[in-house]
Amino acid sequence: MTSVVRFAIVAGAILGGVSVASGAFGAHGLKAVLEASGQAGNWDTAARYGLFHALALVAVGLLAAVRPDATGLATAAWCFLAGTLIFSGCLAALALTGVKLLGAIVPIGGLLLIAGWARLAIAAARLAG
């Protein structure tokens, strides 16, 4: 198993578990707090994007396992992981603290997520056969 395969699948699995747990925590344990502050939507978006990109990481890992000749998958995986940590992490922190500065950092994570999707598209387009 290559390092890209292991990294992407393990990171995706951990991120998926954390996303499910944070979504459940927001829907139950933090529901009243998040609704009172008007931040329930931000929390939900953070959990949802985390889960989507956990699946993207696992997909990158599986593609790397099946097609070890694919180039750029490590970059896509790192962009997905870093982008999710910044995007979802700052959005969740904003939802809990109300610190508006965190909202200015969220788009950096979004740009990394977009870069991950672009890098995955390029890697897939370059695959032969």
Mean pLDDT of the chain: 96
What pLDDT, on the 0 to 100 scale, is given for residue 66? 95
How many domains, in total, are found in the chain? Answer: 1
**Does the pTM of the predicted model rise above 0.85?**
yes
- Find the domain containing 112 and state its range: 3-125
Contact, 82 vs 112, CB < 8 A? yes
Helices then strands (H, E): number in the chain? 5, 0
Q: Which residues of 97-116 are buried (b: 16+ CB within 10 A; e: fewer)?
A: eeeeebeeebeebeebbebb
pLDDT tens-place string over residues 17-74? 999 999 999 999 999 999 999 999 999 999 999 999 999 999 999 999 999 989 999 9
